[in-house]
Structure 1
Amino acid sequence: MNRLRTIAFSALFYGLSVPIVLSVPVSALFGRAAVMRHAHVWARMHRFLYRHVMGIRVVVEGQAPAGAVFYAAKHQAMFETLELQLVLGGPAMVIKRELSKLPFWGWAAMQYGGIVADREASAGALRSMMRAAKALRVEGRSILIYPEGTRVSPGERPPLQSGFAGLYRTLGLPVVPIALDTGTVWPKQGAKRPGLVTIRLGEPIPPGLPRAEIEERVHAAINVLDRG
């Protein structure tokens, strides 16, 4: 049954995603706010399908603060890349360079407010990432990063990537850590399954802390729901 649910979800989600993504250039004619509304239609479609096809429920613990903040989230599945945009009210997002180069989707992500992170972590790439983040900060956007750098399975706790500390210092915003357990219902491989997903927004951590302290606190906070 879970395999059949997964096949049905994938067929519907990817089939409906094609026209949504391909039509982003029309929304882009009307500015970033229109692109954000367009993207949230995609996220709400994803939400409808995971609820009614996969039988997945989401509980959000804590609240997104008012004003701009720097969100640092655990990353276990594609699930949260869409769901968090709705939960958090549309933050700009740090994305991998290879994703920014995907046809249509990469362009759309940049119009939405993408900040490109380069795994090579060269000085030029880091400076470019900081400039993009500063520009979006001026727009009043919150910023979302997956500081461990990649999607991981439950039980995996890689160290934070260097870009997190650089953005923390550059943005000067409070950090809100986000723990989640999406990997328990949305594994990297195999069928997805019904169940309950918890997304927990931690207490804001103030700006200006030493690198070792902020990394330790954020790493601990985003892993509090890890039951791998």
Structure 2
Amino acid sequence: MNTRAPESARRAASPLAFDGQRIVLVHGATSGPWVFDDWADSWAARWPEVEVRVPDLQEGLDVAHATMSDYVDRVLAAVGDRHAVLCGWSMGGLVAMMAARHSQPAALVVIEPSVPAEINGGDPNWPLAAGTYDAESTYGPSVPGTRHRPESLLARGERKRGISVPAMTCPLLVVAGRDYVDTRGRPVAEQYGADLMEFPELGHFQLVADPRVRGAIAQWVSSLAP
């Protein structure tokens, strides 16, 4: 594991992480809350005084018409009035970044997030259309044992067009593996002055399956607390 903590991020890492007593984990596209089952269990054991919430971004939605803002609303509902720690993987990382702009999180962790427009500029001509898509037809063969479900084509179109997240004002950790370190890892950390944690031996899906990742993230979060 490789880590980098820019001076700006170290200054931002003030002792405030757990005054809200809540962590919200945000799953990725074609995935669901189950991807964080082991995280919720291990973190609940590590911090028994902290409530770990894993909202289902699709709950109550017509998925074919679901937007990224709909997903943000579900995260904000899980945050409630707490000074929570947000942690999102893949699409959920971008959702968490968007939610952070509408709340006051104690800290934010993004694991190879879908990137904001500030990173790649987006494609303003990408079509926006209602519908759903499946993981294998869009992303290629699935990792054995990975559970998927249909995902919103409209929300994917919004991501492709580009969603702006101008700045982050809370402590931010970016986690990357071997698959997207040059596109979703280092550029995101550099753009927002974040801490960077790299696992060059792990692929995109392994980042949420390998216990070393959640352990390292837990240590980072703990370093922000009094």
**Superposition TM-score tier, normalisation by shorter sequence:** under 0.3
TM-score, normalised on structure 1?
0.25
TM-score, length of structure 2 as denominator length: 0.25
- Which of these two proteins has the greater Rg computed from alpha carbons? 1
